[in-house]
Copies of this chain bind each other. A is one copy, B any other.
Amino acid sequence: MLILNNDEIETLLSMDTTIEVLDKAYRQLANGEAVNRPRTDLYLPFPETSGVYAFKSMEAGLFDPKVVALRLNSDVIRWEDRGGRIVKDKLPKAPGGKWVGLVLLFSAETGEPLAIFPDGVIQAFRVAASSALAARYMARQDVTHLGIFGSGWQARAHVEAFCKVRTFEKVLVFSPTKANRESFAGEMAERVHLPVEPCADAERVAEECQVLVAATNAITRVIPPEWVRPGIHFTCVKTSELGDDTITRADRVVIHTRKIAPENYIAGMGDERVEAHDPIEFLNAADKQAVARPEVPPWINAPELHDVVSGKESGRSRPDESTCFVNNIGLGVQFAAVGSAVYEDARAKGLGREIPTEWFLESVHP
């Protein structure tokens, strides 16, 4: 069994490959040749820490290649108010100040485990590649300016990914912290070989760009409805960055998956599944049922990404249409597709650390 780290994955994985294997995986999903188990979050509230421990997991299987991937996150979470924006922070409590996110890959032919590796690089690649894949089928061909909100990992990956599906002349980045947006601009200009301008004025970014990407860790709105104008394409890494009024302002909406919230299981709440976006909000809510069964959003019946990728639905019908891709929640199939590509490439190049598969097998009949 192969162990890989993020550095190795970064050398193995290209954004082009990520976009292409996802394109193939979404087609399989559309054709019933793949299966997802939606994300579930397990919560242990520890009031003494004013936070929770969360264990997230999702799985998916593909017919080609015949693999199953399990992606898990083992997170120590705190909620903080950063200048009026409520931000959920995951604390690096593991030894050496590290986080824990893993992908386990299995063969669907023999059942054996093939590899284990951290999810960080793939996570950034797959979210951005999915957004870019949507843009490939939804954005106008003649776009020139890319506007990015946020300056973290997700924002970096999104700039790189969007430059693979459209030819931009310039990138504008807004991030509330000056130092962040400036280091981001410097780094990204080199990576995508384009002028990248740091902007203190978010509205200017919205006015000058035909493609807007919200890739922040804010759980408050980033793109207001007024910014939605004819011909624009915009997207987000979570629905709270847009809000229903911004999403429904678009002439055409495509969503990543109809699953609107993870299925939460919370200690003290019994075996009932709680479909709340934020279990802390749920725990503090007076009317728990209202939070537990979130209102079905008005865009819920929009086509899913795999419908557009497979050609069952069109992504754009007119140049002056405003289009929105809601990258609302991740799918295991992304990790199965990208993870197996990374695994095969690592095998071909002889990268990674080998441990005996034997350790993870048993002669006990289940």
Binding site for B on A (CB under 8 A): 3, 5-6, 32-38, 40, 42-44, 53, 55, 57, 59-61, 63, 66, 68, 70, 72-76, 90, 92-102, 104, 106-113, 116, 118-121, 123-124, 152-153, 257-259, 265-271, 353, 355, 357-366
Q: Is the Cβ of B37 less than 8 Å from the Cβ of A40?
A: yes
Q: Which of the residues B40, B68, B75, B366 comes within 8 Å of A99, measured between beta carbons?
A: B366
Q: Which of the residues B43, B96, B100 comes within 8 Å of A35, measured between beta carbons?
A: B43
Q: Is the Cβ of A96 less than 8 Å from the Cβ of B43?
A: no
Q: Is the Cβ of A6 less than 8 Å from the Cβ of B364?
A: yes
Q: Give bound CA distance, A286 to B343, whole Å.
A: 40
Q: Is the Cβ of B93 less than 8 Å from the Cβ of A365?
A: no
What are 6 inter-chain pairs, A to B, with CB distance below 8 A?
A90-B366, A94-B110, A94-B357, A100-B106, A120-B363, A120-B364
Measured CB to CB, the closest approach of chain B to A36, in angstroms, equals 6
Q: Is the Cβ of B120 less than 8 Å from the Cβ of A94?
A: no
Question: Assuming A112-B100, A267-B63, is B70 touching A55 (CB within 8 A)?
Answer: yes
Q: Which of the residues B42, B97, B153 comes within 8 Å of A60, measured between beta carbons?
A: B42
Residues on B with C-beta less than 8 A from A74 are 68, 106-107, 111-113
Q: Is the Cβ of B362 less than 8 Å from the Cβ of A100?
A: yes
Question: Assuming A59-B55, A100-B112, is B42 touching A268 (CB within 8 A)?
Answer: no
Q: Is the Cβ of B111 less than 8 Å from the Cβ of A76?
A: yes
Measured CB to CB, the closest approach of chain B to A76, in angstroms, equals 5
Interface centre among A72, A99, A364 (most CB of B within 10 A): A364
Residues on B with C-beta less than 8 A from A355 are 355
Q: Give bound CA distance, A363 to B325, whole Å.
A: 29
